[in-house]
Structures are given as C-alpha cells and as structure tokens.
Homo-oligomer: A and B are copies of this chain.
Amino acid sequence: MRTEELGEFALIARLTAGLPTRADVALGVGDDAALLDLSGFAADALLVATCDAQVEGEHFTLGVATPEEIGHKALAVNLSDLAAMGAEPLWALVSLLLPRALEVATLDGVYAGLRSLAARYSVALVGGNVSATAGPLAIDVTALGRVPRGQALTRAGGSPGDLVLVTGTLGAAAAGVLLQGGDSRLDAVSAAARAQARTALVSPQPRLAEGRALAASGVVTAMLDVSDGLAADLGHLCAASQVSAELDADAISVDPAALAVAEALGRDALRMALEGGEDYELAFTVGPDAVEQALEAVTAVGGGARVIGRLTEPGLGLRLLYADGSIEELAARGWDHLRPN
C-alpha cells in the first residue's frame, strides 16, 4: 500500500501506536504540541536542542540501506550531536516528507529503526509531522536533551597546548561509500571489512556514553562530533577556540576497513580517515596533565580514545606531522552538503 492510499491520519496512527515514552512526557504525540515535564531537571541543568535531516539521494539510498537503518541513522546523527555537548538525550520529534507513492511498509521499517534506537537510549518520540512531497523521502529529526550547566562542552574552550583526542576509529564510513561504488578491485576486501564499513556508514552508533563521561570528568576543554570529516571538524573546533592544531599522522586511528578498501583501490587510507565524513566519533581536547583522566572516563563506559595531536597558537592552520619530520598543511576539507561532492 502507498502512503497516499492510507492517508495522513491513518498513517500517523499506524506510526505512533505504542511509541516508546518516558515518565517525563506529560503529553506525547496526538495533540498540537508535546508537553514535557522538567521536574526531573536539576536546578542547574541546561536544555540541549539540535536538528538534522536525512534526505534520499543525499544521505541514503533506498535499496542500499534498509528502511530500519535509515530510521536508525536519522535519529543517531542527532543523538551524536547531543553526545558532542555531553548531554543526556530525552526526547525527539520526527518530521517526515513523504513521496505519495512511498510504500507504507518502507515507512514501517524506518519507524522500526527509529523506535529501536530510541528505546535503547530511553528517548521518547514525542512529536512529529507528516507532509507530502513531490521530491525524495526526507526524515528530519529534532533531538532534545539535558546537561548540567558546568559540564556542557562546546567547540570553544580549547587552548594552545591542549591535546587532541578522538574516540574509536576513522574512515570506515568513507570505506562504506567506496564499497557502494562497486569497483571490481574491491572483491579482494574481506567480508568482515565490508560488513564493518557498511555498518559504520548506514548504522552509526552515537557516542552518548563517552560524551556524558567526558563531560562529567570535568577535564575536557572542547568537544564536537566528527560528521563532516576529521580535518573539517577540527577546523571548526580551532575556529571556535581561536587556536590552530597539529596532528601526528602515525597516531590517527585509521579503521581496518578503511585500510582494506584503500589497499584494494590504491588509495590513501589516512586521507579517508581525515576527510571522509560521517564517522560520528567524538573529537575532544584536554590539558596535557588530564589525558589519563579523560581516557579513564572513556574506558570506564566501554569506549576507547587516543591522542592524535595537539592545539597550537592561532594562525598556523591545521598541520599534519609525519614521522620523518615532514609537515603537510591540511586544508580543512570535508563534506559540504550543498556542493556536488
């Protein structure tokens, strides 16, 4: 059945039946707006709000990603933004732009993915909107969370001398994009590497536990998530903190899947880690005396992170230091959502 056959109100009833909720949702979907109870907020808590859209043909391709993965990612990228502030996620609103010919079963899958991730992090889906469109399917999510005032982490706050760390590994999502290209040389890539790259691209896991732990540690000076690519995102952090940065080429944790794909295609894996977006890891900075404390905070919640460089005086840009002593000036290149890539 297509969405236009089902109609708006039956579709909303179908999508919102039994949505995950929370005790602090005074009124969820079905009225003009949601009512959210703040009585569980500590006196010094800040509300954290972000929105991000996933658009067919731009961020995902139906038939490549499953509907469940598309729904998962639409929420995950928003939860990643909350993680980057050190926030705990609470509520989300979902706005759908629906081609009239879209199969309702596809939408059921998208919502299954949304619900599953929401339930995992106790996020209540409290509102939304459906609209028809003559264009591609789009899923626009607004996520709301909270963070103690003194713990909120922004892109500003880094100082020269601070060390730069990043959680997890980088480049796997870029490898996933290349694998979709279907170059026959990629047949040499192992099934495990393929699976890892695909998962990174279509089903990223927001680093919520790491983000909260780092914020609570009190030693992080600046943080953001790596969505546009490490180089571009560090460029944002440097701009906000009014500093420069240098990265140690050998220290950057390139994902094994990126290494495998790069080898098969004769590409530079380090470049994929630096410039391929959508890793959804957290990049953050700490004073040199606080590295152990930050690493302990991350490992205590089951994560991992490593030092990849340091902040320097402003005016030096973003530089990549090689083991042989050579230095490369990195342009802050990465994903621009409006330019053809």
Chain A residues packing against B (C-beta within 8 Å): 3-4, 6-9, 11, 26-27, 30-39, 41, 43, 45-53, 55, 57-59, 81-82, 84-85, 87, 91, 93, 95, 97-98, 100, 126-136, 138, 140, 142-145, 147, 149, 152, 154-156, 224-225, 240, 336-340
Contacts and interface: CB of A to CB of B under 8 A. Distances in A.
A154 to B, nearest CB: 5
A52 B48 CA distance: 20
Nearest to A340: B4
Contacts of A126: 49
A84 B338 contact: no
Contact of A155 (B32, B50, B145): B32
A55 B140 CA distance: 13
A127 to B, nearest CB: 6
Contacts of A87: 33
Given A49-B91, A52-B129, 19 more contacts: A4-B338, A6-B338, A7-B336, A27-B154, A30-B240, A31-B85, A31-B154, A33-B49, A36-B46, A37-B47, A50-B127, A53-B129, A58-B133, A93-B142, A95-B95, A95-B140, A97-B135, A100-B338, A133-B138
Contact of A41 (B38, B58, B138, B225): B38
B36 A93 contact: no
Nearest to A128: B51
A49 B338 contact: no
A4 B58 CA distance: 14
B51 A132 contact: no
Contacts of A133: 55, 57-58, 135-136, 138
A125 to B, nearest CB: 11
Of A58, A59, A240, most B-chain CB atoms within 10 Å: A58
Contacts of A33: 48-50, 81-82, 84-85, 87, 143, 145
B49 A34 contact: yes
**Closest CB pairs A-B (n = 10):** A135-B135, A33-B50, A32-B84, A36-B47, A142-B142, A32-B81, A8-B336, A8-B338, A140-B140, A51-B93
